[in-house]
Amino acid sequence: MANRRYRRGISSGRSQRRERLRSNFSYEGMAVPDGTAAQRAFEEMINCTDTKRKEKLRQGMLEFCQKDTLVMVEMVKWLFQQDKMEGIE
């Protein structure tokens, strides 16, 4: 009985962590919201002669890369945590 409650707690904790990852790491509203947009922005930036536009693209790409790196780090942390939890069950 206690073991069942413990496992339910683990499952609940996993769901909460997944939801936290989804909500904290949204790319919505970003100037460069995904990898394909980053590729297009880079291509436009290297061919752009308008310095203001070039800087806007650069900032959008930096923002995307920063967010994307943070999300990847958090995903790896989560995966390692899942691996540790598997050993408990």
**Per residue of the chain (89 residues), what is the pLDDT tens digit?**
444 544 555 555 667 766 666 667 789 999 999 999 999 999 999 999 999 999 999 999 999 999 999 999 988 998 888 877 776 55
State residue 46's pLDDT score: 95
Neighbours of 67 (CB within 10 A): 16
Q: What tokens does 32 get?
A: 């460069």
User: Which run of H or E residues covers position 44?
Assistant: helix 35-47
State residue 6's pLDDT score: 44
- For residue 86, which amino acid is it? E
Give the count of domains, the chain.
1
Q: Which domain holds residue 17?
A: 2-88
Could you give the CA distance from residue 79 to residue 72 in angstroms, rounded to a whole number? 10
